[in-house]
Amino acid sequence: MSLPLDELKKLIKESIPDASIEIKDLMGDSNHYAAIIKSSKFNNLSKIEQHKLVYKSLKGKMGNELHALSITTEGK
């Protein structure tokens, strides 16, 4: 189970094009990431809805190829 950082970023960018994304590979294993994502798509959404948008962009990879992704979202 692992997902390269570039691919992770690409997936998020594809569904949330205006996102500014900052990702850290926490353990250097391509499997535990922390991401800070800012997008106007998050405006007026609850935190749950914001995180769901991010999970949806990963097309089912979350919890499968990707073990851990800590998410911080912000509108812009």
Partner 1 sequence: MDTKDKIKDLIKENDVCLFMKGTPDSPQCGFSMAVSNVLKHLNVKFKGVNILEDNELRQGIKDFSDWPTIPQLYVKNEFVGGCDIVKEMFEKGELKELFVSKKII
Chain residues in the site for partner 1 (CB under 8 A): 47-48, 51-52, 55, 60, 62-63, 68, 70-72
CB 41 within 8 A of CB 52: no
Looking at the Cβ atoms of 30 and 50, the one nearer to partner 1 is: 50
28 sits in the region (left: phi over 0; alpha: psi -120 to 50; else beta) called left
Give the residue among 61, 51, 50 at the shortest CA–CA distance from 8.
61
Least distance to partner 1 from the beta carbon of 11, Å? 14
Which residue, 20 or 70, has its beta carbon nearer to partner 1? 70
Question: At closest approach, how far in Å is the CB of 61 from partner 1?
Answer: 9
